[in-house]
Amino acid sequence: MCGRLSQYRGIHEFVKTLSMPDAWRNAVGDRALLRYNVAPGTPVAVLRREAAGSRADLVKWGWRPHWATAPVTPVNARAEKVAHGPYFRSIWPHRAVVPVDGWFEWVDEGAAKKQPYFIRRRDGHPALCAAIGQFSDNERDGFVIITADAQGGLVDVHDRRPVVLSAQLAVAWMAPDLPSEAAEQMALGLGEPAERFEWYRVGMAVGNARNQGAELIQPLP
């Protein structure tokens, strides 16, 4: 996953996908987000469940532990390592779902610049991406999206993909009492398969994070 996504629907549409009767604390707002080209390091709408109830917040995409010395801030975490490695140990128990309308990948097709693709669910529903993060209402807050091997199908676009969960599994993923072992198995083997998605070439303008607008996700003729 190369690190760009789209969130253009409103938070109520994202929450509706989960079919949860809960009353949500909404810190995102009621209007459509209209963000077609979301870059790392910027606020992203994130859904969570905690003891006090369910909530939707804007959280920075990207996180690193306070002791990390490398200047790079990861935006993704590999499902194969995230549950056991020291880097994400402190945030592994803090699970969230990032609902996206789609995401972008860049593919080397032999031209001077890599070709961007837009990937989305075939059924038109939001993709519910498994994530973990620090959610403490301070400046160090952030999250990472969990990625897995593309498992064929998507491999012609990119060898990694976000772990996209069904609505039922997304609700379970956010449960505060979900055992760590069960969460790990969900991340490793229960993501939606490649046939649930479609992908197509889009224009080069998406390469500039300042560009926004629905035209960025329109297929090339």
| Identified catalytic residue from 13, 50, 80, 105 | 105
Pick 183 or 52 by higher pLDDT. 183
Strands 24-26 and 53-60: parallel
Confidence (pLDDT) at 139 = 86
Give helix 11-18 / helix 167-174 axis angle, nearest 10°: 100
The DSSP code for 139 is: T
Q: What is the mean pLDDT of residues 35-60?
A: 95
Q: 14 φ, ψ to 5°?
A: -65, -45
Confidence (pLDDT) at 51 = 86
End-to-end CA distance of the chain: 24
Confidence (pLDDT) at 3 = 85
Can 105 be counted among the known catalytic residues?
yes
Q: How confident is the model at residue 137 (pLDDT cuts 50, 70, 90)?
A: confident
What is the identity of the amino acid at 114? K
Residue 151 predicted with pLDDT over 90:
no
Can 2 be counted among the known catalytic residues?
yes
Confidence (pLDDT) at 65 = 94
| Identified catalytic residue from 2, 184, 192, 198 | 2
Residue 102 predicted with pLDDT over 80:
yes
How many domains does the structure of the chain reveal? Answer: 1
* pLDDT tens track for 28-38: 999 999 999 99
Q: Say which CATH number the domain at 119 has.
A: 3.90.1680.10
How far apart (Å, rounded) are the C-alpha atoms in residues 152 and 94?
A: 30
Q: Residue 209: which domain range?
A: 5-217
